[in-house]
Amino acid sequence: MKYAYYPGCSQEGSALDYGKSTGALCAALGIELAEIPGWSCCGSTPAHAVDTELSAALCARNLDLAARDGAGQVVTPCPSCLSNLRLAADRMKEPVFRARVNELLDAPAAERLPESTSVMQLIARVYDADSLAARVTRPLTGLRIAAYYGCLMSRPADVMQFGDPENPTLMESLLSACGAEMVEFPLKTVCCGASFGIPERPLTARNSGRILDLATKLGADVIAVACPLCQMNLDLRQKQAARAEDAFFHMPVLYFTQLMGLAMGIAPEHLGLDQLCVSAGSLLRKMEAARAAAGAKGTEAKGGKA
């Protein structure tokens, strides 16, 4: 199974651990990600607010490269990249808009641009819950996980096509198949502050603080995310969030690919766990304790039967 892979800029910088764990997980699942040759930035969050045609051109260029390489589908881990790629492809259906965008490109974009999807959606398409569970070698037993999607992954609903825009459940399905206990998390799609972490720190601290506070009160051991900006705000800025909420937080915030990678038996060093601000050590210890307890019960059961 080979797919054209658009990593996005953050996977090679601030979200290096996301890129690392995505590659390791997909390799373990037999999903080959072939990086689009010569890909470039999609414009991220701000470009479309400045110039919609230039923003679309940035994305169309990448989709065109994939099309000329014979790809029928482009896969990306980043919600912002996915939103931009899908919006651009949708806008390119309008002839006048397409003509203006093509003027910004070296050559007109392919008439048929590849579909874009997220790594999360791709895994769910390839594996149902039972077949995914069958590949688990180190279940996430004992972990209570709050799935946090952020505000971009499921919105706008007609473009992202990610289920219920207010209550997506795909991450819960994947992590449950890996043995985790999922916490019902009402703030799963509220904004964490996104890219306002620098110009509007108080706003980001308050938004992120609400999320961390609720996850803590609900007894979650970890927050699972799929967005580099969300991960940064919830992990890197916990002290700022704690001051905003007048609380103390020590909540590990992992990409869903890191958690699934652990369940597939991938070593932590291959998943980028060393790059987390809040250590995942407590999660690893809890998983080992759960495995030891399960092993002890199994031994007792065998002994009783004998």
Compute mean pLDDT per 10 residues along the chain, 306 residues long, and list them.
92 94 98 96 82 95 96 96 95 97 97 97 98 98 97 93 96 98 98 88 96 98 97 96 97 98 98 97 96 81 63
What residues pair up with 3 in beta bridges, in sequence order? 33
pLDDT at 304: 63
Nearest one of 207, 233, 140, 213 to 179, comparing CA atoms: 140
pLDDT at 196: 87
Residue 129, token pair as written in the block: 């819950």
| CA gap 201, 228 in Å, rounded | 17
pLDDT at 197: 81
From 3.40.50.620, 3.40.920.10, 3.40.50.970, 3.40.50.11810, which CATH number describes the 132-293 domain? 3.40.50.11810
Any idea where the domains of the chain sit in the sequence?
Answer: 2-120, 132-293
Contacts of 107-113 with C-beta under 8 Å, sequence gap 24+, read 109/60, 109/61, 109/63, 109/64, 109/67, 110/63, 110/64, 110/67, 110/68, 112/67, 113/60, 113/63, 113/64, 113/67, 113/89
Share of the chain above pLDDT 90, in %: 89
pLDDT at 2: 86
Q: What does pTM read for this prediction?
A: 0.95
Q: How many CB atoms lie within 10 A of CB 269?
A: 9
CATH architecture of 2-120: Up-down Bundle (1.20)
